Amino acid sequence: MEPLYGLQPIIGGTGNACIIIACCLFFVDLITSDFYLEKDPLVLWQFWFATLTLFQTSLVFLSEVSYEYLIFSNTSLYNSLVYISQFLYTSTMGLIVAKFISELMLKSAKKIRQNA
């Protein structure tokens, strides 16, 4: 049983492992599904979302697993991993916001065309 305060390494590690497995399942589906095989993955927003999520979660997972070594032996590498992870997280959130905005703009453009 873990306390509700502190680092909670088991809960965090389990969560990160589940996210990594989910991203890997997406990539398996991407290379085996006929729907995705017909499309170019570089233009699919789902591909970029899964890729950024996988990279960001992997960095967090690696930095949490090797936290003691990095913080005491190689602080500059730990800081670099944290900054890269923050950048990837911000990029992922920006991608989600951009997707929602583009969907809203497409819906409003359809309504304008239908009313005209």
**C-alpha to C-alpha distance for 116 and 95, rounded to whole angstroms:** 31
What's the chain's average pLDDT? 87
**Of all residues in the chain, what percent carry a pLDDT higher than 90?**
34
Residue 35: which pLDDT band, with cuts at 50, 70 and 90?
A: confident
Answer for the pair 68, 35: CB distance below 8 angstroms, yes or no: no
Q: Name the DSSP letter for residue 74.
A: -
Place of tokens 């699919």: 44
pLDDT at 116 over 90: no
Phi, psi of 22 (to 5 degrees): -65, -40
Give tens-digit pLDDT for 60-105: 888 888 888 888 999 999 999 999 999 999 999 998 999 999 999 9
Q: What local confidence, expressed as pLDDT, does residue 1 receive?
A: 67
**Of all residues in the chain, what percent carry a pLDDT higher than 70?**
96
**What is the residue type of 90?**
T
| Whole-structure pTM value | 0.75
Q: What local confidence, expressed as pLDDT, does residue 16 receive?
A: 87
**C-alpha to C-alpha distance for 82 and 43, rounded to whole angstroms:** 28
Helix (H) or strand (E) holding 95: helix 75-115
Place of tokens 């890997």: 24
Answer for the pair 59, 84: CB distance below 8 angstroms, yes or no: yes
Task: Please state the rounded mean pLDDT for residues 52-64.
Answer: 89
More confident residue, 9 or 32: 32
